[in-house]
Amino acid sequence: MIEAGARAPDFSLPDQDGDTVSLKDLEGQYSVLAFFPAAFSPVCTDQLSVYEEVLPELRARDAAVYGISVDGAFALKAFQASIGTTIPLLSDFHPKGEVAQAYGVWVPERGVATRALVLIDPDLSVRWTYRPPSPLEIPGANLIFDALDAVAA
């Protein structure tokens, strides 16, 4: 997994609406890249629902969350609607897993990204990362708030 202190790898991915989101679009804010294995899975649904609940608090800290999976943009649009989230969902579909590979969270034998969080600072450097010990474990929002507190100190 990418380490804190590294320059965030560049990317340009379509979101659930087909609009392109690039690393340079994240400049000037803290951004959490929430890699998740698959839309519509129970754990991924719960994870993004937890982050949706705390979005106002994250925005108050000038932080945003972006979900990233290898699902296609159309599947991510349906997933977003089904769980009622406003979190932008980015499709790492083609070339499959290219961004997950660049961030060191690709699981080749499964063809998906593992569950992981990457905090990118306003200058586009990686400030913090977290990979749960099990892909079935949801990284709680408290981890994100703790990371934001640590970089602000």
Q: pLDDT tens across 6-31, in order?
A: 999 999 999 999 999 999 999 999 99
Q: Are 104 and 2 in contact (CB under 8 A)?
A: yes
Residue 1 lies inside a defined structural domain of this protein = no
Q: By residue range, what is the domain housing residue 32?
A: 12-152
Rounded-to-integer distance, Cα 150 and Cα 153, Å:
5
Helix/strand/coil for 33 = strand
Residue 27 lies inside a defined structural domain of this protein = yes
**pLDDT digit string, tens, across residues 44-78:** 999 999 999 999 999 999 999 999 999 999 999 99
Residue 123 lies inside a defined structural domain of this protein = yes
Residue 5 lies inside a defined structural domain of this protein = no
Rounded-to-integer distance, Cα 60 and Cα 79, Å:
26
**CA dihedral defined by 30, 35, 36, 37, rounded to 10 degrees?**
170
Number of domains in the chain: 1
44 tagged catalytic: yes
Residue 2 lies inside a defined structural domain of this protein = no
CATH number at residue 16: 3.40.30.10
**pLDDT surpasses 90 at 149:** yes
Q: Are 65 and 147 in contact (CB under 8 A)?
A: no
Q: Are 33 and 114 in contact (CB under 8 A)?
A: no
**pLDDT digit string, tens, across residues 96-133:** 999 999 999 999 999 999 999 999 999 999 999 999 99
Q: Which sign does the torsion angle of CA 104, 26, 21, 142 carry?
A: positive
* pTM exceeding the 0.85 threshold for the entire prediction: yes
Catalytic one of 21, 34, 44, 116: 44
Residue 101 lies inside a defined structural domain of this protein = yes
Any alpha helices (H) in 23-85, and if so which ranges? 42-53, 55-60, 73-83
The DSSP secondary-structure symbol of 80 reads H
Rounded-to-integer distance, Cα 46 and Cα 111, Å:
21
Residue 48 lies inside a defined structural domain of this protein = yes
Residue 89 lies inside a defined structural domain of this protein = yes
**CA-CA distances (angstroms) from residue 31 to 7, 36, 75, 118?**
14, 16, 23, 8
